[in-house]
Structure 1
Amino acid sequence: MNKLQKYLLSILGLQIILILIVFLLQRPVVASNNLIFPDLKAETVTAINISDATGKLVSLEKQGEQWVLPLQDDFPVNMETIQQLVEKLTSIRDNRLVTRSEASHDRLKISNENFERKVEITINGNKEIIYFGSSPATSNIHFRLNGKPEVYLTNALTSAQISTSIASWVDTVIYQISSSAVKKIEISNNAGDFIFAPDAESVWSAQPLEEGYQFDQSKWSSLLSGFTTLRFVEPVSKSEKSEYGLDTPQAVMDIEYSTDTGPSISGKLVIGSPDGSGNYYAAWSESNYIYLVPSYNAERFVNLTTDDYSTQVASEESDNE
């Protein structure tokens, strides 16, 4: 073999290598069809932590047969929502591979520092971490297992179904009293003391009333709904702290109401200090917990004045005009 033949053979070899490289680079990304969590079952899960990149966190823990919020003094969690989440996580498969490039993680909001959701789930005592990122289409979301570069798509769940809002995982009702069962409501705040009561015909009246004003049943109907039903943003604790302001409340409501099963009940709602994030601390006598309630609910009590339930009586001059 002369030099020319060797030279041509070398060129041919390089061409074959280049063709192979191009072929490998242009191959479509192929995925398998395996379950991400093959051992995941409702009975094998003992803890779930859900967080976002801002640091917001919901911690869920199984204690016996009940799921609770351990960071909120073991407030009970809605079992149905946990079961639904586990079912959705169980169905996730690796059959829609998007990329193996770590350089894409930040853009897809699925890196260790930049993500939509981070779910830490304890299965049979072992902690697994899965990141959820951007949604390129309705009902589709990127996800990635911790420590692995592969990014997949799934339609098994959405980021809204792995919420970092505590309200998504619990029953948010503090109390709900039928307005027809209420016998008396007394509210005290910085503006004074207010008393509301129905007569035998269920017609309400109020004290005090300013001179020249009358009780407005229409205004009262809206207030009564707000006074007899209250929901929380999140439970805080069973233990009181001075920062909650419950010793020097912004408002107090005493409400007397009847029940179907026994004698009348006297409940007390105490509205404490604002938390600086648009909520107020509150305590209800029939519950062991202290809560955060939305300001628009709390301020019905805190800012109550006679103007909220009365209207000016029309004068004779106004009638003649």
Structure 2
Amino acid sequence: MKTGIILLAVLLVAQIVLSFVTHSGGTQVAEQSVNGVLLSFDKTKVDQLSVQGVDTKVELKKVDGQWQSADGFPANQSKVSGLLDKLAELKHGLPVGVSEDALTRFKVAIDDYESRVQLKQGDDVLADLYLGSGAGARQSHVRRQADNVVYTTAIGVYDAPTDPAEWLDKTVLQLDEKIVSAVELAELKLEKVSKSKDSAPVWQAAVLPEGKLLNQAGVNEGLQPLWNLQFAEVLGKEAQADYGLDAPVLTLKLTYDGGEREYLFGKMAEGDDFVLKVSDRDEYFRVAGYSVKPMVEKNAMEAWLLAEVVEEVEAEPVVDQEAADKVEAIH
């Protein structure tokens, strides 16, 4: 009798547990397919991307086919397209959790997550994903905003950083040296000329300081870092007293196909970095000190000019030919 009662009690408990699981997410688990598509969206329709962190938020928008920040600064196009490609290709396995406790444990809860990625077309949300704790090499726990099912999939928080600076195009200040036709350093003005159709262009100065020659290699070495220049951070559009631009450490002016650009480098009051202001953009940029210091040294008059070497010609002795002939006659 007691055995029967115990069996009935066990069956009752099992039924209660089964009912609880079914109503708290078990149905969601049963409906999930292994290796299924995690997010279903058309990446060609995405025109807004946001990445929300604990204290920061990245907001990007697509304008005339190009991604840019909310205030109009060019974004890193390949980084954005790379994230969209990755999100569109994500697959998931079996769920690893469906309870409220699981959301917190895997850091994909609505108020506790590593990052939240949202894709939109206009006002329509195309995809909304929470990225949580790491789940192994290049894997993270994730959850779609529309449900409470937690998966592991091949994406990391490094794929969707929450620092806005990491999404900007750090190459916007670079120039192709082939389109640069003139440069000015202090009172020295140089133009790029070609001696012939087949010869490489060289720098030529209309006027050089007395006793000086132009150092072609020195000029090219000094300008080379500008062609590959990258900034570390956009500081905004307002000048600050500690930018050091009242007394720039380097001023250069370039003429290129389509315009002119003046570079002003100032030493920041604190730290080793410099501030750069270019005449054809409104922003002020922070540039790492290790990249600016060599430029300051190499873009200087003493690096661009060489002392002219004047060869002294030894004077030939003056010979009295008539006297020489008399001496020869005596002998």
1:145 aligns with 2:140: no
Q: Distance in 2 between matches of 1:271 and 1:102?
A: 53
For the structure 1 residues 169 and 246, does the alpha-carbon distance in structure 2 shift closer, same or farther, using more than 3 Å as the test? same
Q: Distance in 2 between matches of 1:91 and 1:253?
A: 48
Once the 2 structures are TM-superposed, how far is the Cα of residue 13 of structure 1 from its aligned partner? Answer: 0.5
Residues 69 and 168 in structure 2, CA contact (< 8 A), matched pair in contact too: no
**Rg comparison, structure with higher value:** 2
| Secondary structure of the corresponding residue to residue 137 of structure 2 | coil
Structure 1 window deviating more from structure 2 (108-117 vs 42-51): it is: 108-117
Correspondence list, 1:71-90, <5 A: 73-90=71-88
Q: Distance in 2 between matches of 1:165 and 1:256?
A: 30
What is the aligned-residue identity percentage?
A: 17
Residues 179 and 225 in structure 1, CA contact (< 8 A), matched pair in contact too: no
Residues 217 and 309 in structure 1, CA contact (< 8 A), matched pair in contact too: no
- Matched to 1:74, the amino acid is G
Q: Distance in 2 between matches of 1:217 and 1:31?
A: 71
Once the 2 structures are TM-superposed, how far is the Cα of residue 84 of structure 1 from its aligned partner? Answer: 3.5
| Secondary structure of the corresponding residue to residue 15 of structure 1 | helix
1:62 aligns with 2:57: no
For the structure 1 residues 86 and 139, does the alpha-carbon distance in structure 2 shift closer, same or farther, using more than 3 Å as the test? same
- Structure 2: which 5+ runs fail to align? 196-201, 305-331
What is the RMSD of the two structures over their aligned residues, measured on CA atoms? Answer: 4.8
Q: Distance in 2 between matches of 1:110 and 1:297?
A: 40
Match of 1:296 among 267, 290, 298: 290
Q: Distance in 1 between matches of 2:124 and 2:67?
A: 18
* 1:48 aligned residue: 49
1:10 aligns with 2:5: yes
| Secondary structure of the corresponding residue to residue 173 of structure 1 | coil
Match of 2:261 among 264, 267, 270: 267
Residues 1-24 of structure 1: CA deviation (Å, up to 9, x unaligned): xxxx4x554222113235557889
* 1:178 aligned residue: 177
Match of 1:287 among 271, 281, 284: 281
Residues 182 and 255 in structure 1, CA contact (< 8 A), matched pair in contact too: no
Q: Distance in 2 between matches of 1:250 and 1:134?
A: 46
For the structure 1 residues 257 and 66, does the alpha-carbon distance in structure 2 shift closer, same or farther, using more than 3 Å as the test? closer
1:255 aligns with 2:250: no
* 1:135 aligned residue: 134
Q: Distance in 1 between matches of 2:59 and 2:244?
A: 26
| Secondary structure of the corresponding residue to residue 252 of structure 2 | strand
Match of 1:162 among 160, 163, 167: 160
Q: Distance in 1 between matches of 2:100 and 2:203?
A: 69
Once the 2 structures are TM-superposed, how far is the Cα of residue 74 of structure 1 from its aligned partner? Answer: 0.6
Residues 171 and 228 in structure 2, CA contact (< 8 A), matched pair in contact too: no
Correspondence list, 1:200-211, <5 A: none
Once the 2 structures are TM-superposed, how far is the Cα of residue 269 of structure 1 from its aligned partner? Answer: 0.6
Q: Distance in 1 between matches of 2:270 and 2:42?
A: 40
Q: Distance in 1 between matches of 2:140 and 2:160?
A: 12
Once the 2 structures are TM-superposed, how far is the Cα of residue 227 of structure 1 from its aligned partner? Answer: 4.3
Once the 2 structures are TM-superposed, how far is the Cα of residue 162 of structure 1 from its aligned partner? Answer: 1.8
Residues 233 and 293 in structure 1, CA contact (< 8 A), matched pair in contact too: yes
Once the 2 structures are TM-superposed, how far is the Cα of residue 69 of structure 1 from its aligned partner? Answer: 0.6
Once the 2 structures are TM-superposed, how far is the Cα of residue 174 of structure 1 from its aligned partner? Answer: 0.2
Correspondence list, 1:104-143, <5 A: 104-123=102-121, 125-127=123-125, 129-143=128-142
TM-score by length of 2: 0.63
Q: Distance in 1 between matches of 2:37 and 2:189?
A: 60
Match of 1:92 among 83, 90, 93: 90
Once the 2 structures are TM-superposed, how far is the Cα of residue 32 of structure 1 from its aligned partner? Answer: 0.9
Residues 40-79 of structure 1: CA deviation (Å, up to 9, x unaligned): 22344232111333x2432101335443211xx3123344
For the structure 1 residues 175 and 104, does the alpha-carbon distance in structure 2 shift closer, same or farther, using more than 3 Å as the test? same
Q: Distance in 1 between matches of 2:270 and 2:303?
A: 29
Residues 219 and 299 in structure 2, CA contact (< 8 A), matched pair in contact too: no
Residues 192 and 204 in structure 2, CA contact (< 8 A), matched pair in contact too: yes
Residues 161-214 of structure 1: CA deviation (Å, up to 9, x unaligned): 22345344525230235289575452xxxxxx7969799995999x99xxxxxx
Q: Distance in 2 between matches of 1:172 and 1:69?
A: 15
